[in-house]
Amino acid sequence: MNQHVDTADRHSGEVPFGLEELFYSRADTRGVIEAGNEVFRRVSGFEWPGLIGAPHKIVRHPDTPRGVFHMLWEAIQQGHPMGAYVKNRAKGGGWYWVFAVILPIDGGYLSVRLKPMSALSTQMLQFYASFAERERREKLDPERSSELLRQHANSLGFSSYISFMAHALGGELAERDRYLRRPDDPRTQILVEMNDVMARVAREQVGLLRSFDALQSVPNNMRIVASRLEPSGGPISAISENYKASSVVISARLRSFVAGDGNICDTMSREMARSLFLLGSSRLLSEMTAKYLKTDPVEGIDWDHERALLTALHQKSANDARLAMGRAAEIAAQLTQQSRDIRRQMLGLDTIRVLGRVECGRMRDNSGGLSATIDQLDEFHDDIKGRLEAIMSLSEDIEQALTSYLRRAHAA
């Protein structure tokens, strides 16, 4: 197979480059290019004098939404790594499509970019074209655009954009290995596996939040039913008041569990995403460093300096990934324990619900809507308990998998 032929050849005008090739560039805090590799120079179509000292935006393509760059800059300025699919423009009028890993460094940032080949990549290429057109049509500013891009990631089941990008990076690395017939890499394996687990946690979180919101109306419904069926202070009224008092406590726990800023599900998701993204980044950096071992001299670029930067950043990313994985494992353990605690609290609500069912049976045909209200409770309780069980099981899997990986990595 000729690795320098674009095997996808998806659209005319796409500049070919090999699957095994990686782009590299480094820029200062203003985005001015200070170094790059031959792949970047060749595919972009510029000669070195036209690249070094030029703003990175000289390769910006109008089909890449401005909101993407806004998110990248936002992450860099906060000292966080970030990834993105990017459509770039070549000097000769062509274009090229990459997945970019952006990492902040002292005095700026560097980027390593690979050729994306996944099904998600194709979807994002099409999405970018339509979304960039929307940006222009509605005159969206970059901040509003980035907000809409985050909402798009949420609609795909991701709690944050870094979670989305960790998923994308894992998929691209796995697909690249498959095309290049490389053996499985343990870093990519755990990246893909844990992304899948986190997607399932996110789905359970959304479902739990939906049932939690629906549960808020039930005590009010019970009070309304009680006011129609009996004088104040009757058994149904007492049941509804007891249920309300107990549900308030559980609602507060559920809210801190799945809703609001800093809830534990989102905290674990973000820490996991950060650790997994750093893990994938460290793999790319190690490969990029190896590719820099044999490079022709270029005026204005000190290859020894670039290699040293890459080596140091690879070590830092790998270490930061291990630390973040350790924190994620600790949060997963907390998530498991909180799931158990809330499930125990739900047993108290179950007792009140059973009393309501008994009272409903005593009243028989005169229940006046009480039966339907109790049926709602049955449905919500079963759903909440089932999702808590699922989250508890998944968080146990996460803790065990991360702990096992960290143990093996330390032994190696």
Report the percent of the chain where pLDDT is more than 90. Answer: 55
pLDDT digits (tens, 9 = 90+) for 50-95: 999 999 999 999 999 999 999 999 999 999 999 999 999 999 889 9
pLDDT grade, residue 25 (50/70/90)? very high
Lookup: tokens for 172 = 């691209």
pLDDT grade, residue 9 (50/70/90)? very low
Q: What is the pLDDT of residue 11?
A: 57
CA pseudo-torsion sign 110, 116, 118, 119: positive
CB atoms within 10 A of CB 67: 23
User: Which of 128-137, 258-267, 268-277, 362-371: highest mean pLDDT?
Assistant: 128-137
**Crossing angle, helix 303-363 and helix 264-291, to 10 degrees?**
160
Domain boundaries, the chain: 23-156, 186-411
Who contacts 111 (Cβ-Cβ below 8 Å, separation ≥6)? 23, 24, 25, 26, 27, 100, 101, 102, 103
Q: What is the pLDDT of residue 59?
A: 96
Better-scored residue on pLDDT, 334 or 7: 334
pLDDT grade, residue 241 (50/70/90)? confident
Q: Are 98 and 19 in contact (CB under 8 A)?
A: no
Q: What is the pLDDT of residue 81?
A: 94
CATH match for 23-156 among 3.40.190.10, 1.10.3720.10, 1.20.58.220, 3.30.450.20 = 3.30.450.20
Lookup: tokens for 284 = 């790319």
DSSP 312-353: HHHHHHHHHHHHHHHHHHHHHHHHHHHHHHHHHHHHHHHHHH
Q: What mean pLDDT do residues 267-287 have?
A: 91
Better-scored residue on pLDDT, 259 or 296: 296
Q: What is the pLDDT of residue 5?
A: 37
Report the percent of the chain where pLDDT is more than 70. Answer: 94
Lookup: tokens for 113 = 């970019």
Better-scored residue on pLDDT, 157 or 21: 21
DSSP 8-class letter at 362 = H
* Ramachandran sector of residue 111 (left: φ over 0; alpha: ψ -120 to 50; beta: rest): beta
**Quick one: how many helices (H) and strands (E) in the chain?**
12, 5
- Taking 70 as the threshold, does the pLDDT of residue 8 lie above it? no
DSSP-assigned beta bridge partners for residue 389: none
Q: What mean pLDDT do residues 120-141 have?
A: 96
- Taking 50 as the threshold, does the pLDDT of residue 3 lie above it? no
pLDDT grade, residue 293 (50/70/90)? low
Write down the mean pLDDT value for the chain: 87
